[in-house]
């Protein structure tokens, strides 16, 4: 994701300061890419992960993650209906923390 959603090399950018959650253009840009993928590849795949391994324990990312998941889910549903499964990741918080919410 633009600015890195976790700061690790598997995000495409190893950095100690991931800015995906704090850059006001990064999340909308990510949603645009998800929309493009769902529109163009949705019929060829079974599952679309919204973003790989976001680090919800980084405040700037955790603050936007829940809204991003909801918006991303809606983007995929609008593009493909209920045909495509949507995968999210717990943000390295674990199930119990994720169920309670990020706020």
Its pTM stands at: 0.84
Q: What is the mean pLDDT of residues 13-33?
A: 93
**pLDDT confidence of residue 61:** 84
Structure tokens at 9: 């090399």
Q: What is the mean pLDDT of residues 24-45?
A: 94
Q: Round to whole Å and give the CA distance between 12 and 9.
A: 5
Helices (H) and strands (E) in the chain, counts: 3, 2
Whether residue 102 has pLDDT greater than 50: no
The DSSP secondary-structure symbol of 98 reads: H
Whether residue 103 has pLDDT greater than 50: no
**Of all residues in the chain, what percent carry a pLDDT higher than 70?**
90
Q: Is 51 helix (H, G, I), strand (E, B) or coil?
A: coil
**pLDDT confidence of residue 94:** 66
């Amino acid at each position: 994701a633009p600015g890195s959603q976790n700061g690790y090399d598997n995000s495409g950018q190893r950095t100690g300061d991931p800015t995906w959650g704090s850059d006001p253009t990064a999340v909308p840009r990510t949603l645009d890419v998800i929309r493009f993928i769902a529109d163009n590849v949705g019929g060829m795949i079974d599952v679309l992960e919204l973003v790989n391994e976001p680090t919800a324990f980084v405040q700037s990312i955790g603050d936007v993650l829940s809204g991003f998941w909801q918006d991303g889910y809606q983007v995929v549903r609008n593009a493909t209906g209920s045909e495509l499964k949507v995968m999210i990741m717990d943000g390295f918080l674990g199930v119990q923390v994720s169920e309670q919410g990020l706020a």
